[in-house]
Chain A
Amino acid sequence: MYVEHGAVLRSVLPLCGPVRPIGIVVPVTTTDALRRAARVSVVAAPAAVLLAASPAFADTPASWQDPAPMSPLTALLVFVGIPLALFVTIALLTLAPSLIRGDRQQRGVTSWTEPDWFGNEVSRTQHPRGEQPRGELEGGTAQSGGASARW
C-alpha cells in the first residue's frame, strides 16, 4: 500500500524557500498483519491436525462382525511361519549367485597348469618358467611398488 504525501510536503516546503513541489511515494507495508496471521496459523495447524485425527480413536463400527477366534497353531503359522518363509526366500535369492559360483570356485585349486594372461603379457621366451635363462628377469624393477594380500 502506498500513500502519497505530496500534499503535506507542499504545505511544508514553502517554509524552506522557493522549491519546486514534487510528489514522494513512501511504502507502507502490512507486515504486522502478516506476522499476526503467521502466529495464529502456527497454533492453529497442529490443533486442526489433532482434531481431524480424533475419529481414529472411535470404536469399530457395530455393523462389523466379530472374527472367529484364531487357534494358537494358526497364529504361529501366520505371525512366525510366513515371516520366516519370507526371510529364507530372500536369503536364498541373495546367496544363490555366490553359491552357484562357489560350487565352481571353492572346491580348492590344487594346481595350475599354465599362466593365464590378460592385457600386456610376458612373452613365453621371457617367462620366468620358460626355457630361456632368466637373465634380466631376476628380481624386480628398481623402486617398483605394490601390495600383497592373502585370502
Chain B
Amino acid sequence: MPAGELLSPADRRAIQRAVDSAEALADCDFSVCIDESDGDPREYADRLHAGLSAPELSVLVLVDPVARQLEIVTGPLIRRHLDDSQVALAALGMQTSFAAGDFVGGITRGLQQLAEHARRPPTLHSDSR
C-alpha cells in the first residue's frame, strides 16, 4: 500500500509538526518511520536507528502498519533522561490510539509524551549558563 492511502497530506503535515515540536522541546532528534519491517521488527528498528546521523541523541519511532507493530528505540544519551519505563508508557498510549483507528493522533501524542520526558531539566546552579 502506498503511504498516500493511509496518510492524507494533512496527516503528514500533522506528524511533521509533531516531530518538529518534539525536537524543539527535547533538544534531540526524533525520527518517525512508517514501514514494513524487514524481518524481526525490533532488529529492523535497531538497524534503522543505528543508521541515523546521531543515533546516541536520537529517538526512532518505527510504525509497522502491516505487522501492526510499534517499536521505539532511544539512544544511550537520550536514555539518561528518557528511561525505558517512560518509553513504554508512551508506547502504551500510542498502542491504544492505533487500536482505536487514530493513527495520526497516536503518533503525535506519543511524540509529545516522549519529548516531555526526554526534556532535560534546566540547570539553575551552573557556571555554564
Interface string of A44-60 (1 = CB under 8 A from B): 00000000000000000
Q: Complex: how many Å from CA A80 to CA B84?
A: 51
Taking a contact as CB atoms closer than 8 A, the residue among A137, A142, A144, A150 that contacts B69 in the complex is A150
Q: Does A10 contact B (CB under 8 A)?
A: no
Q: Does A71 contact B (CB under 8 A)?
A: no
Count chain B residues whose beta carbon lies closer than 8 angstroms to a beta carbon of A: 70
A115-B33, A149-B92 known; A120+B53 contact, CB < 8 A:
yes
Shortest distance between the CB of A107 and any CB in chain B (Å): 9
B66 lies within 8 A of A112 (CB): yes
Taking a contact as CB atoms closer than 8 A, the residue among B29, B60, B102 that contacts A98 in the complex is B102
Q: Does A18 contact B (CB under 8 A)?
A: no
Chain B residue numbers with a CB within 8 Å of A104 are: 5-6
B56 lies within 8 A of A141 (CB): yes
Shortest distance between the CB of B120 and any CB in chain A (Å): 16
Taking a contact as CB atoms closer than 8 A, the residue among A120, A129, A148 that contacts B52 in the complex is A120
In chain B, what residue has the closest Cβ to A113? B2
Q: Complex: how many Å from CA A75 to CA B103?
A: 45
A137-B50, A144-B76, A146-B71 known; A119+B30 contact, CB < 8 A:
yes
Q: Does A102 contact B (CB under 8 A)?
A: yes
CB<8 Å pairs between A and B, sample of 20: A101-B101, A105-B103, A109-B65, A110-B1, A113-B2, A117-B32, A119-B19, A120-B31, A122-B51, A128-B44, A128-B51, A134-B47, A137-B47, A140-B45, A143-B79, A144-B73, A144-B75, A147-B87, A149-B91, A151-B70
